[in-house]
Amino acid sequence: MNIVVVGCGKIGSTIVASLVEEGHNVVAVDNNSTVLDSITNIYDVMTVCGSGTDCEVLSEAGVDSAEMVVAVTASDEFNMLCCYLAKSMGSKHTIARIRKPEYNLNSLSFLKQQLGLSLIINPEMLAAREMHNILKLPSALKIESFSGRNFEIIEIMINEGSPLHDIKLMDIRNKFKAKFLVTVVLRDSEVYIPDGNFVLKEGDKIGLTGESGEIFKLMRTLGLERKQAKDIMILGGSSTAYYLAKLLLAAGHRVKITERNEARCDELSELLPKAVIINGDGAQQEVLEEEGLSTTDAFVSLTGMDEENILISVFADSRNVPKVITKVNRPELAEMAKNLGLNTVISPKKIVADILVQYARALENSLGSNVETLYKVMDEKAEVLEFNVKADFKQINIPLKELRLKDNILLGGIIRNRKSILPTGDDVIMTGDRVIVVSAGRRLNDLSDIVK
């Protein structure tokens, strides 16, 4: 597809990289020629230097024939105007980054309708939601939900002494009463889509699918049932911190935010009257200790500097804080963070890139299905996709044991009439089903792509 990306900062450059990897024709627009030079040095894309609200610049970028225009500059209003112009000039789909808290759900819905926006993305809100999900089940490294939010895939680590160590997958259901599937395994940087003979080992990171209640039952059986984090300390008063605190406070949690900028502290005090706002430098260990770091249930590092987030998270981990979440955007630093023992690393720009990849694939398909959801898991080495099955899907009502699936493909679940099914060989796919597929090393656009 022809896709125009306006704004090539941290978010925009990551979106460009993901879309190029997907094989799309991308045009990058930015008013900073140095930024565009750095992009063309790495990626095979066209660039146009200028303002995304200049009709001549947009015309040169080819928005009139673009299937999708994505505006992700630092200004919400600029992004909205850019998308409005692009839509007026002929772009089929427009996506705007809008992140200011003052744009509430009602106003966003109105703007989306009036401006003809296909999608609105808020990286900070999306990251906050992911962190909130993890804090509800602290033993998990990552939690992603599918249709109805009752069916999930979660990532956990098999630690020393785990009952999952040295167990063959075909024996797992006899040992544990919970209904779940082990769908993907990361071992020594290699990803596996396991069969029944696969043996789990200590140090494996595994992906489990199942209903949320069944996953919770398994965690309890494994001794991984930690209470939900009630006392949460957040470092940094960013927009992500605001959105996360708002979610946590609404759920009855106690929240403390440490922010060094006094003016921002005043803003947060007005926006979040139920939170405790501390004006201090959280990079100073004694400040965190004075505010009760060692007795908090969870610590979330959300400053604007990846390095600071990593270092303070390592310090929090050394003080035996039960759950530590670290925001890191740069891929090389995210890998460093994991090598330092920080298992829960969140990247807002990767979350947004994954959503846009999902949206682009949904536009590209489809013969008999739609991509509804797409998640990158296992350190981005595998994908989990949710397909909506249409009436013209060719493998309807055929027992799964009769389907010849391609290598490194696994059916992780079927959602039918809001009921979740862990598929066996005797199950079938029906029209209207939502089918969860786990894939490694393959790009799936359509559900039919899983069959040889």
Per-residue pLDDT tens digits for 384-397: 999 999 888 889 99
Q: Is the pLDDT of residue 227 over 80?
A: no
DSSP at 229: P
Q: Are 193 and 282 in the same domain? A: no
**Lowest mean pLDDT: which of 17-31, 109-123, 296-310, 353-367?**
353-367
Q: Are 6 and 103 in the same domain? A: yes
Point out the domain boundary residue: 101, 121, 141. Answer: 121
Q: Are 139 and 196 in the same domain? A: yes
Residue 382: predicted pLDDT: 94
Give the range of the structural domain holding residue 157, as residue numbers without chain letter: 128-221
Q: Are 166 and 240 in the same domain? A: no
**Lowest mean pLDDT: which of 52-66, 159-173, 212-226?**
212-226
Structural domains in the chain (count): 4
Residue 194: predicted pLDDT: 94
Q: Are 311 and 383 in the same domain? A: no
pLDDT digits (tens, 9 = 90+) for 107-160: 888 888 899 999 999 999 999 999 999 998 888 999 999 876 789 999 999 988
345 assigned to some structural domain = no
What is the percent of the chain with per-residue pLDDT over 90, rounded to a whole number? 73
State the average pLDDT for the chain.
Answer: 92
What are the residue ranges of helices labelled H in 171-211? Answer: 172-175
Residue 365: predicted pLDDT: 62
Q: Are 60 and 89 in the same domain? A: yes
Instruction: Return all residues near 269 (Cβ < 8 A) that are at least 6 apart.
Output: 277
174 assigned to some structural domain = yes
Encoding tokens for residue 286?
Answer: 């004694």
pTM of the model: 0.87
Q: How many C-beta atoms surround the C-beta of residue 125 within 10 A?
A: 22
Q: Are 90 and 141 in the same domain? A: no
pLDDT digits (tens, 9 = 90+) for 228-265: 789 999 999 999 999 999 999 999 999 999 999 999 99
Residues 173 and 201: their CA atoms lie apart, in Å, by 17
Q: Are 240 and 217 in the same domain? A: no
pLDDT category of residue 368 using cuts at 50, 70 and 90: low
Instruction: Give the Å distances, CA to CA, from 419 to 38, 151, 257, 389, 442.
Output: 49, 9, 40, 15, 28
Residues 169 and 89: their CA atoms lie apart, in Å, by 55
Q: Are 376 and 317 in the same domain? A: no
Q: Is the pLDDT of residue 430 over 70?
A: yes
257 assigned to some structural domain = yes
Mean pLDDT of 154-171: 91
340 assigned to some structural domain = no
373: domain CATH number is: 3.30.70.1450
339 assigned to some structural domain = no
Point out the domain boundary residue: 84, 99, 121. Answer: 121
Between helices 348-364 and 123-136, what is the axis angle to 10°? 100
pLDDT category of residue 203 using cuts at 50, 70 and 90: very high
Long-range contacts of 425-430 (CB under 8 A, 24+ apart): 425/399, 425/400, 425/401, 426/399, 426/400, 426/401, 427/399, 427/400, 428/396, 428/397, 428/398, 428/399, 428/400, 429/389, 429/393, 429/395, 429/396, 429/397, 429/398, 429/400, 430/389, 430/396, 430/397
What is the percent of the chain with per-residue pLDDT over 70, rounded to a whole number? 98
Q: Are 213 and 149 in the same domain? A: yes
327 assigned to some structural domain = no
Q: Is the pLDDT of residue 225 over 80?
A: no
347 assigned to some structural domain = no
Point out the domain boundary residue: 195, 221, 247. Answer: 221
Mean pLDDT of 293-301: 95
Mean pLDDT of 418-427: 91
Mean pLDDT of 295-315: 96
- Burial degree of 424 (CB within 10 A; 0-12, 13-18, 19+): exposed
440 assigned to some structural domain = yes
Q: Are 68 and 158 in the same domain? A: no
Residue 369: predicted pLDDT: 60
Cα 400 to chain centroid distance, Å, stands at 29
243: domain CATH number is: 3.40.50.720
Q: Are 158 and 205 in the same domain? A: yes
